[in-house]
Amino acid sequence: MKQLFYLFLAAMIGGIAAAVTVLSIVGSPSSATPLPPPAPAASPTLVAQRNMVEELPTPLDLRPAARLAIPAVVHIKALTKDGQREVVKALFSDRETSQGLREGEGSGVIYTSNGYIVTNHHVIAGADDITVTTTDRKVYPASLVGEDPKSDLAVLRIEGNDLPYLKLADSDDVEPGTWVLAVGNPFGLTSTVTAGIISARGRSINLLADLDAIESFLQTDAAVNPGNSGGALVDADGQLVGINTAIASKTGKFQGYSFAIPSNLVQRVADDIIAYGNYRRAFLGVEISTFTNSDQQRLGLKNRTEGVVIDAIFAGGSAAAAGLKVDDLIIRIDNRTIRDLPKLTEFIGRARVGETLKLTVVRNGLELEVVVPLIK
């Protein structure tokens, strides 16, 4: 009996030992199902990249600007019986109609709610009959209020009230990189909008033949084609930055560069035409040119690289009355820097007869301020 008890006790102890052994094996880390490794901590570079993505600005929405601009841009047709009508590097179509009339197409911008419209002079030059079509397809006969070939601007008038028009931006504040929309009627496709940026300011491309023409264009890469002439260049707020006028192209079609008359000059010319029927332009009474390397050597101005040189002074003009001299280097007008000829012609062109300008010139190596009263 005692022997059986010892056998039972031994069996029980053996079972317990076996169970403990099995549990120790099953519970050991080496035999357990491996857990997935913890995710590695994000590196500082990855964290910075994620933050940059989260902080990126939302894309610029130009739809509100387009909604403002499209109704204020009109389609212009200009007819003439004169087959010799000259189109000055036109950006609009120019073709013969079935009646033998010569027809040009372009664009215009409603300037006031009571029917004044600004366009390019070359759009309507020599026209006998001008019609304007608005975006709601209403067709109006238009009369020519006045034109100025030397700035390539003209003002038309249609009978209308409460017409949509564009507010004017300050084109002096427009910088390269500013988003803009070009609105017009290229190839007869009405109310077309293209987008781009301001590429440069104060460009002269020798578009206008007159020596005293005003060329100080805004350059943009917004697509402009025949039919866009006279149309609107607007900023992201839908304000008028300029009037689309020309393209630099070997084919006659857009190749990446287009040019617009800045709104500050447009306002100056258009307001005069509306008030007086013509542009009452002030003249400095000088012959001038952009400062060059040869001027630098000739005048001994090695520390100067920019400005406009006075080459001749006309008797009885504003410059003569103010005491300006040949070889004076104009570097500022009213604290605005003058780097080259286009910007100077624009600033003078925007001034009014009777106003006074303060010119800073370099004479014999010294800076002088000269007050110039503008006379016609």
* Active-site residue set: 122, 152, 229
Q: How far apart are the first and last CA of the chain?
A: 143
**Distance, CA of 28 to chain centre:** 74
Concatenated DSSP letters for 144-159? Answer: EEEEETTTTEEEEE-S
Long-range CB contacts (within 8 A, 24+) of 315-319: 316/285, 317/283, 317/284, 317/285, 317/286, 317/375, 318/282, 318/283, 318/284, 318/285, 318/372, 318/373, 318/374, 318/375, 319/284, 319/285, 319/286, 319/372
Distance CA 327, CA 342 (A): 18
The amino acid that residue 1 corresponds to is: M
Compute CA distances 96 → 81, 83, 102, whole Å.
10, 9, 5
The amino acid that residue 6 corresponds to is: Y
Distance CA 336, CA 100 (A): 51
Total Cβ atoms within 10 A of residue 252? 12
Left (φ > 0), alpha (ψ -120 to 50) or beta: where does 106 sit?
beta
Paired sense of beta strands 240-247 and 153-157, if any = unpaired
Backbone angles phi, psi at 182, to 5 degrees: -105, 125
Task: Confirm if 216 and 262 have CB atoms less than 8 A apart.
Answer: yes
The amino acid that residue 26 corresponds to is: V
Distance CA 336, CA 338 (A): 6
Concatenated DSSP letters for 131-146? Answer: EEE-TT--EEEEEEEE
- Residue position matching structure tokens 């664009």: 107
